[in-house]
């Protein structure tokens, strides 16, 4: 029998498939469609300290093999997520969650991490460092080794849960930023976040998205994601969650061969709400075809 289980920082996952933050909400749109307990874990929608409306409409632009979004971290805020959304999701999903947290200053990251540390349903903290640093001139935390290291160190001080730093691909050398996070105490890394993209309506002569630019995701970015996971896997010794355009069981295995211990599925959920279920169902047969008895054995096999 094929074993498709894996592990993240001592947490057992029945399989490596995790819906990515921002594409699965808090599970409400999915739990009537299929049994959420088939999933390895769920990375819940990014949480900020205060409630956020997000960016102005329109926020979505379609692209060949992908989409651009500029939702702007719309969420009900930390208290509502902890006291309302997570308890409701826990009625339908009975495994450790991944809590994605976003801050605009170091104290905000610390406050979120401290609050999530007390939530029993949360197994891993996924720290999104793609937010602009309001005390650092607006540059995203994730574009600086120093900022990434500082966020990591401060978050690690207030939580006993594994801390995974979610890295931005919009940098010159992602491996050096990954190493900075590892050296500062990160337990793992998630990558990649969205690339920066833009579409223009040539008839209106205006950007399609109100915010002009947004995060580009979908199958078109998969080769970039695989390359970056491979580079980071060679630079660090901590586990990786790979993401970026994953939409099939073949993509999952390719990402794991590059060095990921688990994989998040993002934009594919918006196209097909059964994407994760289909991938999980396809994995055992694909493993048999590839003569893989234990899926975790292929992690990082590409040298």
Domains of the chain: 6-54+73-195+217-298 (3.20.20.70)
298 DSSP 8-state letter:
G
> For the residues 48-71, what does the mean pLDDT come to?
94
CB proximity list for 289: less than 8 A, separation 6 or greater: none
Q: Which residues are catalytic?
A: 131
Q: Which of 151, 117, 100, 56 is nearest to 266 (CA)?
A: 100
CB 183 within 8 A of CB 165: no
CA Rg, the chain, in Å? 18
Q: How confident is the model at residue 132 (pLDDT cuts 50, 70, 90)?
A: low
pLDDT number for residue 163: 98
Say how many C-beta atoms besides its own lie within 10 A of residue 303's C-beta.
4
Q: How confident is the model at residue 138 (pLDDT cuts 50, 70, 90)?
A: low
Q: How confident is the model at residue 110 (pLDDT cuts 50, 70, 90)?
A: very high
pLDDT number for residue 140: 83
Tokens of 278: 């289909």
Q: How confident is the model at residue 130 (pLDDT cuts 50, 70, 90)?
A: confident
Tens digits of residue pLDDT in 76-88: 999 999 999 999 9
Torsion of CA 140, 145, 150, 152, to 10 degrees: 90
Torsion of CA 118, 7, 177, 244, to 10 degrees: -100
Burial class (CB within 10 angstroms; exposed 0-12, middle 13-18, buried 19+) of 29: exposed
Cis status, amide bond into 192, omega within 30 of 0: yes
> Does the pLDDT value for residue 52 go beyond 80?
yes
Would you give the distance in Å from CA 285 to the centre of its chain? 26
pTM of the model: 0.97
Q: What whole-number distance in Å separates Cα of residue 248 and Cα of residue 253?
A: 9
Tokens of 126: 């996924």
> Does the pLDDT value for residue 137 go beyond 60?
no
If residue 59 lies in a helix (H) or strand (E), which one and from where to where?
none
């Amino acid at each position: 029998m094929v074993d498709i289980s894996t592990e993240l920082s001592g947490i057992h996952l029945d399989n490596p498939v995790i819906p990515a933050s921002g594409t699965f909400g808090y599970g409400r749109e999915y739990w009537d469609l299929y049994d959420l307990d088939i999933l390895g874990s769920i990375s819940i929608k990014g949480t900020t300290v205060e409630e956020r409306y997000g960016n102005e409409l329109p926020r979505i632009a379609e692209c060949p093999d992908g989409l651009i979004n500029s939702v702007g971290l719309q969420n009900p805020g930390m208290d509502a997520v902890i006291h309302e959304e997570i308890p409701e999701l826990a009625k339908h999903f009975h495994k450790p969650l991944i809590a994605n947290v976003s801050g605009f200053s170091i104290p905000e990251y610390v406050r979120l991490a401290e609050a999530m540390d007390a939530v029993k349903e949360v197994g891993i903290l996924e720290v999104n460092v793609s937010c602009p640093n309001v005390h650092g001139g607006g540059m995203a935390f994730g574009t600086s080794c120093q900022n990434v290291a500082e966020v990591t160190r401060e978050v690690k001080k207030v939580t006993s849960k594994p801390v995974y730093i979610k890295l931005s691909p919009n940098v010159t050398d992602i491996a050096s930023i990954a190493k900075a996070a590892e050296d500062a105490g990160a337990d793992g890394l998630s990558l990649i976040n969205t690339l920066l993209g833009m579409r223009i309506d040539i008839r209106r002569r205006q950007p399609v998205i109100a915010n002009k630019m947004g995060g580009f995701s979908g199958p078109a970015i998969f080769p970039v994601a695989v390359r970056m996971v491979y580079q980071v896997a060679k630079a660090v010794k901590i586990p990786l969650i790979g993401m970026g355009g994953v939409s099939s069981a073949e993509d999952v295995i390719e990402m794991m061969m590059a060095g990921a211990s688990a994989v998040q599925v993002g934009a594919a959920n918006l196209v097909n709400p059964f994407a994760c279920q289909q991938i999980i169902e396809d994995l055992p047969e694909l493993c048999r075809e590839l003569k893989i008895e234990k899926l975790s054995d292929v992690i990082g096999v590409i040298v």
